Amino acid sequence: MTGYLYEKDLRQMKYNILTSTKHDEAVRAIARRLGTSDAKLRMVLIRQFDMSLLENLESRWEMGQQHADNDNDPVAEELGCELFTRFVPLVDARVMQTICDETRAMIGNESSRDEAIARGKARVREAVLS
């Protein structure tokens, strides 16, 4: 049995957390960065994150913009490799690494850089929303 005793539906409370002024701004910024709608991202956040992580979303996002270094790799930078795995843990680290490597390989092969980055971003979005 994996269910907890005294469990309550937390969705409304999580939504309350996400809709306070600063958190709403952070959610909108993340949605813009990922290129998805706010409502969809909110749904994912409510499903995946626990309440403490939701409360801390805003400061984690802020720190991610300041400190995510990505080892001076422009591809990882644009896909938000470190940002979405360690600062705002929306994507599994291994999945992110595969996406990153394959995007880099695509750039090395034949297709144009912009196209490869766009496809990489789409895959990150997919990984987040799945």
Partner 1 sequence: MKKTVDVSIPLGPVHPCWKEPVRLKCETAGERVLRTEVELGYMKKGIERIMRGRPWQEVMFLAERVCGICSVIHNMVFIEAMEEISAIAVPPRAAYLRVVVNELDRMASHILANFSYCYTIEHETLAMYLLNTRETVLDNLERITGSRINTAYMIPGGVRFDLLPEDAAAMLADLREVEDKMRRYTGIFETGPLIALRSKGIGVMSREEAIRAHTVGPTARASGVEDSDLRLRHPTYRELGFTQVTRTEGDNFARIMVRFQEVFQSIDLIRKCIETLPEGPIRGGGLCRAGEVSYGGEAPRGELTYSIKTDEYGRVVDIAIRTPSIMNIEACAHSMIRDVTSIADVTSTFISSDPCIACNER
Partner 2 sequence: MSILQDIKNAVRSRSIHVAYVDVGSCNGCDIEVLACLAPRYDIEQYGIYVHNNPREADILLVIGSVTPQWVDKLRDIWEKIPEPKVAVAIGNCPISGCVYARRGTLTTPPVENYIPIAAQVPGCPPRPTEILNAILSVAPLIYKDYEEKQR
Which residues are near partner 2 by CB under 8 A? 6, 8, 12-13, 16
Q: Which one of residues 29, 43, 44, 53 is an interface residue with partner 1 (CB under 8 A)? A: 53
Give the CA dihedral 83, 84, 86, 90, nearest 10 degrees: 160
DSSP-derived secondary structure letter, 5: T
- 80: burial class by Cβ within 10 Å (0-12, 13-18, 19+)? buried
Q: How far is the CB of 73 from partner 1 (least distance, A)?
A: 18
Structure tokens at 39: 């409502």
Select 16 or 37, whichever has its Cβ closest to partner 2.
16
Residue 52 binds partner 1, judged by CB under 8 A: yes
- 129: burial class by Cβ within 10 Å (0-12, 13-18, 19+)? middle
- Coil, helix or strand at residue 22: helix
Select 16 or 112, whichever has its Cβ closest to partner 2.
16
Binders in 3-22 for partner 1, by CB under 8 A = 4-5, 8, 10, 13, 16-17, 20-22
Q: How far is the CB of 38 from partner 1 (least distance, A)?
A: 18
Select 54 or 106, whichever has its Cβ closest to partner 1.
54
